[in-house]
Chain A
Amino acid sequence: QSVLTQPPSVSGAPGQRVTISCTGSRSNIGTGYDVHWYQQLPGTAPKLLIYGNYNRPSGVPDRFSGSKSGTSASLAITGLQTDDEADYYCQSYDSSLSAWVFGGGTKLTVL
């Protein structure tokens, strides 16, 4: 059972917009710790996609955006492409656990 809750799967057609939610609690997202997102393409290591709730590292397309409100965060992907098929993980820090925590991951399928 992950500390951060994500939907197991989402799907969308090419060109569409999808969102992935990440729900935490008052000891992590809700207490002010930032949310970060990683993309894991099949058979590869995770890659930082969004940091500090909404910042994109160099090279990440602006089709990917992040937001945070209260004890939750969201990752939005617009203009879906087949190359976006991957697992997406949110991550934050939990002050009660004194631990870096991840969500359970969301598998994105581009139909």
Chain B
Amino acid sequence: QITLKESGPTLVKPTQTLTLTCTFSGFSLSTSGVGVGWIRQPPGKALEWLALIYWNDDNRYSPSLKSRLTITKDTSKNQVVITMANMDPVDTATYYCAHRRDWYFDLWGRGTLVTVSS
């Protein structure tokens, strides 16, 4: 059974760097073909894909946010970490991590709400 869970701060100040951790079970990021992605959703708005990391350390980023994002993995801990620099109030959102299968996300974490405010 695959599960994913996001963790990190619920409140960050503008200009700070956000670091979120996705802890998963039921699969290994050392297995060929496996990937984990991050998706966010501002309150009342649509889903937005942020980044994805593959088992082979190949990383993909949203073109509009690429300069601010870094995604890494710790295979031994079954974790994927995303950092987003220079946070702004418009980055207030629920951040989800999800297991990638082919070209879609078949299983999602419950999400974590991050508020950007001074």
Contacts and interface: CB of A to CB of B under 8 A. Distances in A.
Contacts of A68: none
B40 to A, nearest CB: 11
Given A45-B109, A105-B46, 5 more contacts: A34-B103, A38-B47, A45-B110, A48-B107, A104-B46
Given A46-B96, A98-B60, A100-B52, A34 B47 contact: no
B59 to A, nearest CB: 12
Interface of A: 2, 33-34, 36, 38, 44-48, 51-52, 57, 89, 91-93, 97-105
5 contacts: A2-B46, A38-B47, A57-B106, A91-B105, A99-B63
A58 to B, nearest CB: 11
Interface of B: 37, 39, 46-49, 52, 60, 62-63, 96, 101-111
A51 B104 CA distance: 7
A48 B104 contact: yes
A103 B12 CA distance: 28
A98 B46 contact: no
Given A46-B96, A102-B47, A97 B63 contact: yes
Given A45-B96, A45-B110, A100 B46 contact: no
Nearest to B65: A99
B32 to A, nearest CB: 20
A51 B102 CA distance: 10
B108 A47 contact: yes
Contacts of A100: 37, 49, 52, 103, 105
Given A97-B63, A99-B63, A102-B46, A46 B103 contact: no
Contacts of A38: 47, 105
Question: Considering residues A34, A46, A101, which has the most beta carbons from chain B within 10 angstroms of its beta carbon?
Answer: A46
B48 A102 contact: yes
B61 to A, nearest CB: 8
A93 B106 CA distance: 15
A105 B65 CA distance: 21
Interface centre among A44, A45, A91, A102 (most CB of B within 10 A): A45
